[in-house]
A = this chain, B = another copy of it.
Amino acid sequence: MDEIDELLSIRAAELYYEDNKTQDEIGQALRLTRWKVGRLLAQAKQRGFIRIEILHPRARRLPIERRLRDERGLADAIVVSSAGVGSSEELQARTAQAAADYLTAMRPVPRTLGVSWGRTLFEISQQLRNGWAIGVNVVQINGGVSLNRRPGTAAATAVGIAQKGGGSATLLPSPAILERLATKEAIEADRVVAGVIELARSADVFLFSAGAADRTSVHVESGYLSEADVDELVRKGAVGDVVGRYIDSDGNIVDPALDARTVGLTLDELRRAPIGIAVISGPAKHAVADAVVRSRLCSVLVTDEATALHLLDG
């Protein structure tokens, strides 16, 4: 394409998209046939001179979703648009909104939903509308009830999701990570805890997020891990955690001893789930998102545009 055609295609695009002229009118104005105008417009599109953006908090990026499904083997992918996003909080909110939308639209409606907890999950629970499901039972899939800085957000998350879905919540009454292996085994042997975990295993849908392996982690904030612990995990190759279990970029457990002291479903149990929905957004979580998808921890991914593009680049 030479320069003259490039310029013509721009003039045509202006008249077509900004001035709402028909291709025929443009042809008359520029002394071209309408077919030529059509071809110029097609070329302008194809060469990327024309950008069409959908500016809305609920906008998604369907072509990227398709590529994620096809190239990364996901059962489903939801990618929210980053267009016009101001803060990372807004990105987080958009992603949580999209996750809530996805849950609401699920058919068949989930009967038993296993959930983790954290900032993302809490936001999802807030975005869900009353009546999003009819009688869904929510069960926590990992520990972490008491030690939160804002006590009760883990419980509030599960209960909120359940109430708005017209069902009840089953909490896992245990810390996330215990200091001694023996204590962890004792807790898991407890009849109530064992029952909850058993129920969790039977969930037909899991909903969880992932944390980045850095000092801002909720596990540090909650006091389950020290900053030095996290540094050590990173040194061993950790890129983040899923349901409290730290993984490397291939999705393998980084520190088996630590993992053995972590209460809740194991990653393999998560992998065997019929439907596992991971909700992961923000630049800090690119690496862990990649690990989650690569190691098939989820079958459905809800994320933002930048993270999705990162997954497709690799």
Q: Which residues of A contact B (CB under 8 A)?
A: 6-7, 10, 13-15, 17-19, 44, 48-56, 58-63
User: Which of A18, A53, A61 has its CB near the most chain B CB atoms (within 10 A)?
Assistant: A18
Q: Are B10 and A54 in contact (CB under 8 A)?
A: yes
Q: Are A63 and B7 in contact (CB under 8 A)?
A: no
| Nearest CB on B from A209, distance (A) | 24
**Would you mind naming 26 contact pairs between A and B with Cβ atoms under 8 Å apart?**
A7-B58, A10-B54, A10-B58, A13-B59, A14-B54, A14-B59, A14-B60, A15-B62, A17-B52, A17-B54, A18-B54, A18-B62, A19-B62, A44-B54, A48-B55, A49-B54, A49-B56, A49-B59, A50-B52, A50-B54, A50-B55, A51-B52, A51-B53, A51-B55, A52-B53, A53-B53
Q: How far is the CA of A18 from the CA of B54 in the complex (A)?
A: 9
Identical chains bound together, number: 2
Q: A14 to nearest B CB, angstroms?
A: 5
Q: Write out the residue numbers on chain B whose beta carbons fall within 8 Å of the beta carbon of A14.
A: 54, 59-62
- By beta carbon, the residue of chain B nearest A66 is B19
Smallest beta-carbon distance A99→chain B, Å: 15
Is A18 a contact partner of B58 (Cβ separation < 8 A)?
Answer: no
Contacts of A10 in B (CB 8 A): 54, 56, 58-59
**Distance of A179 Cα from B305 Cα, bound (Å):** 63
A107 to chain B, nearest CB (A): 13
Q: With CB as the reference atom, state the residue of chain B lying closest to A21.
A: B62
- With both chains docked as a complex, state the minimum distance between the C-beta of A57 and any C-beta of chain B, in angstroms: 9
CA of A6 to CA of B55, assembled, Å: 12
Complex partner residue of A54 from B13, B60, B62, CB under 8 angstroms: B13
Since A17-B54, A49-B59, A52-B52 are in contact, a sample of 4 more A-B pairs with Cβ atoms closer than 8 Å, ordered by chain A residue number, is: A14-B61, A18-B62, A19-B63, A51-B54
* Chain B proximity of A30: nearest CB distance (Å): 12
Residue among A6, A44, A54 with the highest chain B CB neighbour number at 10 A? A54
Give Cα A15 to B7, complex, Å.
Answer: 29
CB distance from A302 to the nearest CB of B (A): 16
- In the complex, what distance in Å separates the CA atom of A18 from the CA atom of B79? 13
Residues of B within 8 A of A59 (CB): 10, 13-14, 49
Partner of A50, one of B7, B49, B53, B61: B53
